Amino acid sequence: MKSRIVLIVFLLLASVVVLSCAKRISPPPPVPVVSDGQAPDPQALDHFIHGVVLDQQGEITRAIGEYRRALLFDSTAASIYIAMAEDYFTMKLYDDAVIQLQEALRVEPENVEAMEFLSDLLLETGQVDSAIAMARRLILARPDDMRYRRNLGNLYIRQDSLNTALTQYEEILHRYPEDGEALSQVSAVYIALKEFQKALDTSSKLYTLDSTDDRVAFTLASLYAELEMPTEADYYFNRSVELNPDDPRYFSNWAYLQISHKDYDRAITILQKGTHQHPRSADIWALLGSAYQQAGQDSSAIKALDHSLELDAAKIGPYITLGYIYDNAGKFEKALEVYNQALAIAPEDPLLLNNFAYMLAQKKIRLDEALSKAKIAVEKNPDNPSFLDTIGWVYYGLGDLQQARRYMEMALTKDEKNPTILEHLGDILSAMDNKDEARVHWLKALEFDPNNLQIREKLAQ
């Protein structure tokens, strides 16, 4: 079965959390070297300052030597170990940096700078569990500083412990209900958990705090669309475009909402505005071509799709839509040409393989080739009813009715109201001399596609 035309959708549901080690470009400025609250040892301080000067001159190896000499006179000053860790970090000797920071915390267990640096460094080296332990230690040392709780939440996200991350952000919101960053993270976590109503409630609070943030408006639009509230989704997609017309994704997703509700004319109007604002966006032109095709305006669709490929010939979606248009118009050779161009670019694309195989099955030609293509598509998407229908239809063309029936019945379990699958299964059952059961499926298909004259002719026989 030909799947519906691929619509290129960029559904930005939430901000992406970026976790990385803080950049440490240069060593810290000179700080006093203090041991047990006493005045710094003069010789230790002298070597420490010489080390800092050498660091500023780029003499990192010599600076480390000076810090080591400083430790001979005072081995209880965390600042010396931290300075050495900075240099080892610059040299990408991360294990050595970790050792120095651990020494700093041995002599000064509550040194926040060492804990922050070590937490970042552990994360940089992929030791997420250890970074989490250090982040917890920071919270104990500075319970009123929400930065550390926020960082811990981010670490839990990286560990995919989403509910635990929520606990950290909710603690921030308990103290600061209008913390925009925490609200944004909570919304993102709820989206990842597919708790869309909770994400919507949280994003609505964000929008109340700042109704000029286009990203929040877009998130609200996407959530309303997910919750099948098209009127609200339409409002916020429109708002996103008003606030930031420079993001082409806003036009694409707004138009996709209209297409999903079969309002093709409005989708076309939105996308025309999008192409005016983003004349070189291949994705918007491709979606405009799909909208034209579904509106029955094939000539306009072909122009838009061709222009999309002029902008980016590596996009597969326009080829698939063009192949569908040409095949549907009876221009088999032209459709074959387009599909071959696409297969040269993406020989493993499942939708492309499926549509190509279905076209061959409909023409009852090159069925062995069609079967090999359909098998790959099904392997990649074993639960796709369209792909199951296609391979079943290929087997029907090959005369393997048992396999054809098996795959068609599998397709029907995935999409019980699909008239094409119902009709195909009826055809297969009829070929197996099971006329009564065939009629049951044809009649069911007619319920969902009452204007299908082909099915009526089969029932009249």
Domains of the chain by residue range: 367-461
- Measured distance CA(295)–CA(81) in Å, rounded: 69
How far is the CA of 44 from the CAs of 65, 73, 110, 436, in angstroms? Answer: 12, 5, 22, 98
Single pTM value for the model: 0.75
Enumerate the β-bridge partners of residue 35. 38
3-state secondary structure of 38: strand
CB 9 within 8 A of CB 252: yes
Element (H, E) at 286: helix 282-294
Note the pLDDT of residue 15.
32
For residue 435, the Cα-to-chain-centroid distance in whole angstroms is 48
The CB density around residue 445, as the number of other CB atoms within 10 Å, is: 25
Q: Which residues contact 46 (CB under 8 A, 6 or more apart)?
A: 70
* Widest distance between CA atoms in the chain: 107
Enumerate the β-bridge partners of residue 38. 35
**DSSP for residue 5:** P
320 conformational bin, left if phi > 0, alpha if psi -120 to 50, beta if neither: alpha
Residue that is written with structure tokens 């790959």 in the block: 376
- Measured distance CA(214)–CA(244) in Å, rounded: 6
Burial group, residue 453, by CB count within 10 angstroms (0-12, 13-18, 19+): exposed
The residue among 20, 29, 22, 86 whose CA lies nearest residue 56 is 29
Note the pLDDT of residue 136.
86
- Measured distance CA(59)–CA(35) in Å, rounded: 27
3-state secondary structure of 284: helix
330 conformational bin, left if phi > 0, alpha if psi -120 to 50, beta if neither: left
**DSSP for residue 366:** S
For 124-167, what is each residue's pLDDT tens digit? 888 888 888 888 888 888 888 888 888 888 888 888 889 988 98
Which architecture characterizes domain 367-461 according to CATH?
Alpha Horseshoe (1.25)
Dihedrals phi, psi of 35, to nearest 5 degrees: -120, 115
pLDDT tens, N- to C-terminus, the chain (461 residues): 443 222 222 222 233 233 333 334 344 444 444 444 566 788 989 999 999 999 999 999 999 999 999 999 999 999 999 999 999 999 999 999 999 999 999 999 888 888 889 888 888 888 888 888 888 888 888 888 888 888 888 888 888 889 988 988 998 899 999 989 999 999 999 999 999 999 999 999 999 999 999 999 999 999 999 999 999 999 999 999 999 999 999 999 999 999 999 999 999 999 999 999 999 999 999 999 999 999 999 999 999 999 999 999 999 999 999 999 999 999 999 999 999 999 999 999 999 999 999 999 999 999 999 999 999 999 999 999 999 999 999 999 999 999 999 999 999 999 999 999 999 999 999 999 999 999 999 999 999 999 999 999 988 88
Q: Which residues contact 276 (CB under 8 A, 6 or more apart)?
A: none
